[in-house]
Structure 1
Amino acid sequence: MTIHSHEGDLPDGLDLGPVVAVDTETLGLSLVRDALCVVQLSAGDGDAHVVRLNRPTYDCPNLKALLADPKVEKLFHFARFDVAMCKRYLGVTIGPIFCTKIASKLVRTYTDRHGLKDLVKELVGVELNKQQQSSDWGADKLSEAQLAYAASDVLYLHAAKTRLVEMLTREGRLEMAQACFDFLPFRAELDLAGWAEADIFSHA
């Protein structure tokens, strides 16, 4: 495994293939308060690219182009949050999307454990270390521990997706999952517009 650390943007000419695992690190979990600090990516080849973003300009044309590229599938775990953060701070609408958390909830109905740690442990056989999850991602320089943590969040998503697609296909729920993925950019827009908690589909 190699972790490539980048300041501000992805390098020119980097090709991460047709399916790219993506995750973000922020100063917290509030879409209206907490800044986007880091975006990490992997082509599923065992390497990770960790981009420490330049704030507040967020001048990262290569990263923005990749996230918006309709020919590249972006693979997330809990895409709803990451897609909203990238929309707010980078101004990009991400697509197409595959979300392993949504897929897990649709097909791993035998458990209520749909976090990345539990998902990767069961489907990939890897135990993730989540110790750096609550560290200062706005720091001027990321520590080796932070880089390793950021990388681990994207390194196993391709393998998890493969297993989830097999399970969704087996249970006849792949089309339903895809419809959910397609809705995610609009779900993010609702979150950013103030409907994060409201169920607009409910009768009440």
Structure 2
Amino acid sequence: MPRLGMEPVRREALISAAIAEIGAVGSLDVTVARIAGRAGVSAALAHHYFGSKDRILIAAMRRILEDFRNAVNRRLKAASTPRQRIEAIVEASFEPAQFDSAIVSAWLAFYLEAYRSPQAARLLTIYARRLDSNLVHALRCLVAPSSVRITAQGLASLIDGLYIRAALQDRAPKREDAVQLVLDYLALRLNSESPS
């Protein structure tokens, strides 16, 4: 492979290695040398491609968010009703590639990074707004206008909370149970909106 063709391959390897390293350490307290070693390249090459550890971490965060967006979009294509749209979002949130222990640790680390880094904060704001927008769009057809926002917040809070539990506890719900907990909350909200 020509040398120019290796840059995208090495960048991807470094991003994947950063996610794996964060998952192994459980925080952003990782070094470029460890990330580079996991990727099979030199630390100098990692600096050449990204310029700093912070840029590698932001690239890793972008990758996780892009993978999540793709998972949601893939599932939304098969959803034909508002309730199926919400179920698609919930299932994408907890699909195996998203609810992997390294990804869960990375999410938690990125939430903490958002307090320090305006770039990380901006990326998490984009994630939160997209999640809210998708949920609100579907909920408008299912609940009273006065309940849309609070129901969307409840669903998003459950999703995020289950990620935190998965990162911090060994007794956190399994993937299937996490999906069911969120969908049970949805069913409760929808039942409370039904006329008696």
Instruction: Give the TM-score, by structure 2 length.
Output: 0.30
Structure showing greater Rg: 2
Structure ranking higher in strand proportion: 1
Higher helix share: 2
TM-score, length-normalised on structure 1?
0.29
- Higher RCO (C-alpha 8 Å, min separation 6): 1
